[in-house]
Structure 1
């Protein structure tokens, strides 16, 4: 890539910077991070420039603002526009990233294999976007929760699931289905219990256990383990906090009480 240092960031570059923000935990975004260096080489910019751009984009994340972390304050109008356009729709973000890389950088190593396998036409775009979006959503949720269950802290990725707070089937495809604020990183047991309405989290994100689960038969050790999380606040991610409106939907519609 030609040297673009000193030139204004364009829309495509800013989209790739937002993608990077969702690819690595915020705390790991530094000038020496290998993914930052990799994107810098791709764009023909310095790692410092990429680092600053990602931090500027991060300053649009309400959770980063609330934590008073070191996100820079000189975010551009383009940064905000791109963040607002894609932060609630990772399906569109992932598909745009794939096409930017394919069309502008000819970097097949970045591309999901589905792009080369699906038939042409509208069907291709719809199905590919859904497939890419589902994979991207899982990866993003695990990354922002630092590959740890938000209840137990378990970090075995084979046991972790990107759970939708408001179910996929009930979610708006443009603003909710792949919105990272509609996701929790849960272990397989708590994911299943959450999905079936046997547990939820209240307005303060403390775990509530359904009486149906509390009163079912289980051995004493399992019951003590299960109840040890009752009233415990979930571990928040580093960015894209779970949204109260999604949790309220889960409480009202999914939770069995």
Structure 2
């Protein structure tokens, strides 16, 4: 059988899945890889290898001396460079490709997002892209932290938040808003404290409590709970390490002071 070259659409789908699977779990037995391989008519082994090719360009993995596969194609580099900092566009494009391949619509494919409820008179594609981007931002961030709070280790998804380090409202919509490196997986309490600048993390990923948190009225058990984590290093993610530029923004603009 003649070897079939990877298309741009297939490579985009591989890149999209790469953002949602820990590097250590990329393999032919992964169920998400198996499912996508059936859709694109590739073997799970071939799809896993393509994702490892894309990992070759991941600067975080390079820094950790994990280089992925070295036999990459020009298209791999093009797709990685085009979408690595724009998860919103990647997710929207990938879901559109998947819908076409399966002869359905994105509305049906992602029915839980209720895209059909977008009001008339607005740019539906733009609003759909935002919802899809936020949805997959959460998936990517939680995946990176093993579906556990990076402060406490809490693993109940209903109590976890994909918290922006640099707030969504002031982030660049192409390179920052849905960039998983601009996210932390936090429990709901620490998420709210982080969002309000009552805690932050420093460049070495240690938690710092604000003096305003120290002065807040609370029962002794809650105070001890916050104090216990003050100064401790967060649990670092499998990929998408918190970006230093995002941390600096939170330290300088959001944090209310030590």
Give the equivalent residue in structure 1 for 2:202. 202
CA deviations over 1:7-40 (Å, ceiling 9, x no partner): 1111110110011112222222111111111111
Correspondence 1:238 to 2:238: yes
Contact 1:26/1:144 (CA < 8 Å) preserved in 2?
Answer: no
Q: Counterparts of 1:246 and 1:107 in 2: how far apart (Å)?
A: 38
Give the equivalent residue in structure 2 for 1:32. 29
Correspondence 1:21 to 2:37: no
Report the CA distance shift for 1:217/1:99 in structure 2 as closer, same or farther (over 3 A): same
Unaligned runs of 5+ in 1: none
Number of residue pairs the alignment of both structures matches: 254
Give the equivalent residue in structure 1 for 2:110. 112
Contact 1:87/1:180 (CA < 8 Å) preserved in 2?
Answer: no
Q: Counterparts of 2:93 and 2:122 in 1: how far apart (Å)?
A: 15
Give the equivalent residue in structure 2 for 1:75. 72
Q: Counterparts of 2:46 and 2:118 in 1: how far apart (Å)?
A: 36
Q: Tell me, what secondary structure is at the counterpart of 1:153?
A: coil
Alignment of 1:177-192 (within 5 A): 177-192=177-192
Q: Counterparts of 2:183 and 2:214 in 1: how far apart (Å)?
A: 25
CA deviations over 1:185-241 (Å, ceiling 9, x no partner): 101011000000000011111111100101222233222221111111111111111
Q: Tell me, what secondary structure is at the counterpart of 2:242?
A: coil
TM-score normalized by structure 1?
0.92
Q: Counterparts of 2:118 and 2:98 in 1: how far apart (Å)?
A: 18
Of 36-45 and 173-182, deviating more is 36-45
Q: Counterparts of 1:43 and 1:240 in 2: how far apart (Å)?
A: 27
CA deviations over 1:112-166 (Å, ceiling 9, x no partner): 2345555789711111111111111111111111101111111110110000000
| CA deviation after TM superposition for structure 1 residue 107, in Å | 5.2
TM-score normalized by structure 2?
0.91
Of 154-163 and 39-48, deviating more is 39-48
| CA deviation after TM superposition for structure 1 residue 108, in Å | 5.4
Q: Tell me, what secondary structure is at the counterpart of 1:130?
A: helix
